[in-house]
């Protein structure tokens, strides 16, 4: 009993020391790139890093939006059917990566689907089920093989008239790569970046003083939840523990859709049919070392469904598929 007060004092001092050394959490949410973005960072420079990262994401939004008349993508869509259009190095890099993923996924990923996506306008003010012949006509204006990229002059041309590109399935991944780079340059050691289903993790989660005592550690791996495609927002179907820096990127038919006559029509299009992809799965999550590749591959994996296993993905990634019976299937290296 006589030692109790010493023991209590010891723990109080320990908590105080740990409390002082705990890295403060900073968090900010904004709506950009057509999605809700939440950046969380811990410790020194976290606040500055978040501000700088949001500035960069805002800039990227301006460059890549297919709908802003000032964007480079708009400029391409207006002029590339008439001849080569010069683009910035970063736009060329994203275009080149998009074509690379199209080739790797047998065309399941295709940024030239804009004429078809515009017909469906899922989530927009004109969303509707297009007629078969409208889809057939729009499909004639698509095909990544009809994009011509000129590496030397950093320019692009459409080989067919009426073509248009939409980088919505890859721009968030590119933006998350850039935001991660900014965080690291600012010296941030621990952070989670959530760009609407595109999650990037840096380092580990700092624990509170009480947790430090409980776990006898100052940090533990971040745990990222994969959304239950049939559940409410935030309902987790599987958790991924992040032992290292990684991207966890999900594409799903539950993200954006409309319903008509009891049937759901979502925003990810199968380039072969021009219809919302129906590969028998509800979501595809890619775990990757690259944000841009993970984003493109997760969209492709959703189109391909379980066939994704057979495609020549060159990722050192894992793929987690939730099928229509909510079975969880994992592929790839671990």
251 binds ligand AMP (CB under 6 A): yes
Please give the torsion angle defined by the CA atoms of residues 161, 293, 33 and 71, in that order, rounded to the nearest 10 degrees: -40
Find which of Mg ion, ligand AMP, none residue 168 binds, CB within 5 to 8 Å per kind: ligand AMP
* Contact pattern for ligand AMP over residues 129 through 168, marking x by CB under 6 A: -------------------------------------x-x
Cβ contact 83:158 at 8 Å: no
Residue 291: CB atoms within 10 A of its CB come to 27
Interface with ligand AMP (CB under 6 A), residue total 16
Backbone φ and ψ for 155, nearest 5 degrees, come out as -140, 165
Cβ contact 173:292 at 8 Å: yes
Find which of Mg ion, ligand AMP, none residue 266 binds, CB within 5 to 8 Å per kind: none
Measuring CA to CA, which residue among 289, 320, 307, 276 is closest to residue 105? 307
Q: Which of 117, 169, 300, 322 binds Mg ion (CB under 5 A)?
A: 169
295 binds Mg ion (CB under 5 A): yes
Residue 297: CB atoms within 10 A of its CB come to 32
* Contact pattern for ligand AMP over residues 104 through 123, marking x by CB under 6 A: -----xxx-x---x------
105 binds Mg ion (CB under 5 A): no
Q: Which of 299, 301, 304, 317 binds ligand AMP (CB under 6 A)?
A: 299
- Scanning the structure block, which residue is given the tokens 């011509």? 148
**Tokens at 47, concatenated:** 């606040």
| Footprint of ligand AMP (CB under 6 A) | 109-111, 113, 117, 166, 168-169, 251, 267-269, 271, 295, 299, 303
Contact residues: Mg ion, CB under 5 A: 169, 295, 299
């Amino acid at each position: 009993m006589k030692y109790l007060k010493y023991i209590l004092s010891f723990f109080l001092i320990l908590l105080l020391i740990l409390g002082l050394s705990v890295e403060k959490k900073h968090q900010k949410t904004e709506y950009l790139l057509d999605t809700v973005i939440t950046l969380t960072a811990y410790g020194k420079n976290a606040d500055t890093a978040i501000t700088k990262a949001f500035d960069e994401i805002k800039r990227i939004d301006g460059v890549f939006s297919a709908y802003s008349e000032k964007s480079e993508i708009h400029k391409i869509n207006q002029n590339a059917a008439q001849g080569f259009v010069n683009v910035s190095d970063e736009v060329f890099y994203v275009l080149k990566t998009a074509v690379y993923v199209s080739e790797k996924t047998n065309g399941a990923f295709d940024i030239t689907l804009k004429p078809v996506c515009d017909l469906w306008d899922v989530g927009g003010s004109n969303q509707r089920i297009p007629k078969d012949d409208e889809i057939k006509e729009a499909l004639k204006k698509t095909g990544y093989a009809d994009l011509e990229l000129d590496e030397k002059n950093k320019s692009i041309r459409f080989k067919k008239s009426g073509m248009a590109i939409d980088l919505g399935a890859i721009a968030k991944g590119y933006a998350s790569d850039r935001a991660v780079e900014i965080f690291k340059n600012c010296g941030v050691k621990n952070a989670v970046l959530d760009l609407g289903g595109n999650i990037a993790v840096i380092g580990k989660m700092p624990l509170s003083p009480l947790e430090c005592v409980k776990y006898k550690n100052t940090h533990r791996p971040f745990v990222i939840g994969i959304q239950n495609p049939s559940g409410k927002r935030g309902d987790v179907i599987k958790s991924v523990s992040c032992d290292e820096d990684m991207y966890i990127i999900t594409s799903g038919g539950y993200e954006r859709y409309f319903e008509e006559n009891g049937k759901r029509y979502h925003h990810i299009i199968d380039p072969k049919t021009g219809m919302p992809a129906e590969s028998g799965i509800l979501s595809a999550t890619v775990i990757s070392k690259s944000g841009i590749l993970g984003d493109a591959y997760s969209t492709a994996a959703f189109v391909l469904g379980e066939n994704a296993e057979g495609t020549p993905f060159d990722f050192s990634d894992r793929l987690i598929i939730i099928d229509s019976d909510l079975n969880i299937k994992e592929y790839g290296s671990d």
